[in-house]
Chains A and B, each alone.
Chain A
Amino acid sequence: MLSFILRRLVIAIPTIILISVFVFTLQKLLPGDPVLAMAGEERDPQVLEFLREKYRLNDPIPVQYFTWIGNALTGDLGISLRTNQPVLELIGEKLPVTIQLATMAMIFAMVIGIPAGIFSAVKKGTVTDYVANVVALSGLSIPNFWLGIMLILLVSVKWKLLPASGYVPLSEDPLRSITVMLMPAFVLGTALAATLMRHTRSAMLSVMSSDYVRTARAKGLVERKVILKHAFRNALTPIVTLTALLFGELIAGAVLTEQIFTIPGFGKLVVDAVFNRDYAVVQGIVLVTAVGFIFMNLLADVAYVLLNPRLRKQ
């Protein structure tokens, strides 16, 4: 097990290096001078030049890259050109927000998606199954930013039920924190619920046609027990793996949701940073996200091995 994890970690290193080079180069290719972009109306050439020097924007690109990556290895991701805040601090500030959002979306998706998937599998081929499938595909097909706008329009503007935007830290006021995030979590979770439902259904279907389920049935066990105890437990492995993988995707998917609902999270940070040409922030975020992604992938693999008794023995 340990050597498996280690091997995976070693493979991850070149990937991370590649992505850092890639993001860095892309950044440098972006049109628009970051210092000028930041200056807005006030463009004192002397100050601009000083800032270029200060942030070493005049150095050759490879030099800039090595300076950056060298600092990054020591935990220093630079500072935001816009607010002077350290990038690491910004990320630390924003990550919990997005994790909360993603977790709520994930809970929502699991609560809806997994039972719906089991149900659909059990009722395979019936109208119920068919309808459930179309509903799930619809969930996958709704552009989530549009869903967000429509919800704001209906729930916040017309019915005045939930706030249209904002964020309250969980530690400050848990109830309000969750209330404020209900709508965004729903929006973010919709597509995920659909994905989970579809995967649960197919995992259940393949397990239900397997021998041991047939044996369980033959033993005369109650159908409910067969489904929940035998079939579902075995279908769980791929579902858990998938969930871990999707969680990473959720964090990325939060980009637009956060933009719509003005949630000060990771996604909003990165989009604003791209538009403001706040290089250090974009680089830092992509690096951290990429590492996070790889880590989630690894976690998924480990979970897969742990949940699968046959693999565990190896």
Chain B
Amino acid sequence: MTLTKMTLAAALLGATTLGAQAADLRIALQSDADVLDPDQSRTFVGRIVYTSLCDKLVDITPDLEIIPQLATEWSFSEDGKQLTMKLRDDAVFHDGTPFDAEAVAANIDRSQNLETSRRKSELSSITGVEVLGSHEIRFDLADADATLMAQFADRAGMMVSPTAAEAAGDDFGLNPVCSGPYQFKERVAQDRIVLEKFADYYNADDFHFDTVTYLPIPDTTVRLANLQSGDVDMIERLAATDLAQAEGDDGINVESAVSLGYQGITINVANGEKGDNPWGNDKRLRQALSYAIDREAINQVVFNGAFAAGNQPFPPNSPWYSTDFPVPERDVEKAKELLAEAGFADGIDLEVQVPNTTIPLQLMQVVQSMAAEAGINISITSKEFATLLADQSAGDYQASQIGWSGRVDPDGNIHQFMTSDGGINDSKFSNPEVDELLNKARKSNDQDVRRESYTAARAILNEELPIVYLYHQTWIWALDAGLTGFTAYPDGMIRLDGVMKAEG
């Protein structure tokens, strides 16, 4: 009797779930996000969560065109020193605070002045904000800034509720309030972050899940196993070596996009005493290292050919890639010649620090055996990432295997690394000509001028090689075959508009 009742209830329950839209979308992330405050945050996975939680002033297309999000239209003044923006008038924050020009002004102020804000350098060109109307705003810039719109397409452009931010201060991240399609529900550190649908979102119809749950699962095999067993609907950063298996599974679809970032070997050129060695002083050695490496073979061995070999801060499919300098073929003879010219015909040692995780170690071991054939004896010093970063920034290293997650605007991948005063120029490479070219590219809104500048800088940097670029990661998402409407973006974000779970 009770059993039939229960069966009946279960059947009814089943029917309702089928009738309505699938309730929960579960996404497995590679790691746990840090503090959920767009102004304080610094992790990649954090940005993935924000994509559904916090709308930005503008967004990008998969081809990196800037498109409207909270700002509907914008224009720069003739000299590029003023940016005027019109804003949506139907957007509202999760706490009911209306989104308007005042809110934008408050957000810029917070990003620039909150002591723990990590957005300061991204918005450093803004000297003043003028509210022109309820939904119109003007930014006054110290100088023309070609990167600004791209910054607005990322965390610096994320709008948080000024009311909530005011009330919470530094603790805003414990209960973030933005204006995105989903609002914050709960977070259990290292376990899950749950967002629920925000009914008042201006484009709510395009979002088809009641809740979105992000689960940090660091182990790639475990992540895939969870997808295969149906415990999650989508995983990010599928291991390249698992690609064949995922593609062979009928229940799984795979999407991918070459990332905006790079991986390479940064060589200490002039960062303290440790930069004063043949590797830092003689560019021929760095060139020899570059020639000794077979980048395509690295891609095949370590990543089953799923990534992209590279020799520049931008991947070869990027519009900013300088085609004048294609990925070089391996040339061991040339490498040996260069070593001999530099006075190291009998070989030379190089100590490279590497994060102590599988992929970087595997990568460096491949590089190690390639370089050995040219007479470069690489010794690998593996360090925990925290130590590696500290040593790198203190100049306590000879060479370091490290990468960059990449930015929408090309400036973000090169300026801070290669200019003399660059914030993360750990190589301490310094060349006035490169400074000038990169500053010029930063200030021009003319694409052709920028491209020319980058190419001219590349000509010098390819000679100097303070960073020997190796490859560009490909973002690989694996999705339950029942999910439709997902688009892969080169920024690695997961945008949920139009994503649906097929019924049945």
Contact = CB atoms under 8 A, between A and B. Distances in A.
Chain A–chain B contact at Cβ < 8 A: yes
B483 to A, nearest CB: 19
Given A44-B118, A47-B115, A83-B35, A156 B393 contact: no
B405 interface: yes
A275 interface: yes
A276 to B, nearest CB: 7
A281 to B, nearest CB: 10
B369 interface: no
B214 to A, nearest CB: 13
A153 B221 CA distance: 9
Nearest to B404: A41
Nearest to A40: B42
Given A37-B389, A44-B120, A269-B190, A84 B221 contact: no
Contacts of A39: 42, 118, 389
A156 to B, nearest CB: 5
B24 to A, nearest CB: 13
A152 B221 contact: yes
Contact of A43 (B35, B391, B423): B423
Interface in A62-115: 80, 82-85, 90, 93-94
B328 to A, nearest CB: 27
Interface residues of A, number: 47
Contacts, number: 127
B218 interface: yes
Interface string B369-400: 00000000000000011110111010000000
Contacts of A160: 228-229
Contacts of B32: 83, 272
Contacts of B34: 38, 82-83
Contacts of B231: 163-164, 166
Nearest to A164: B225
Contacts of B40: 84
Contacts of A80: 189
B225 A40 contact: no
Nearest to B396: A31
Nearest to B33: A83
A41 B390 contact: no
Contacts of A260: 219
B118 A47 contact: yes
A88 B215 CA distance: 22
Q: Which of A47, A156, A157, A261 has the most CB of B within 10 A?
A: A47
Contact of B226 (A42, A165, A276): A165
17 contacts: A31-B390, A37-B390, A39-B389, A42-B42, A44-B423, A46-B120, A47-B118, A54-B115, A84-B170, A84-B173, A93-B188, A94-B190, A163-B229, A164-B226, A164-B231, A166-B215, A262-B219
Q: Which 7 A-B pairs have the closest CB atoms?
A: A37-B386, A264-B191, A32-B386, A164-B225, A264-B190, A32-B387, A42-B42
Interface of A: 31-34, 36-47, 50-51, 54, 80, 82-85, 90, 93-94, 152-153, 156-157, 160, 163-167, 260-262, 264, 268-269, 272, 275-277
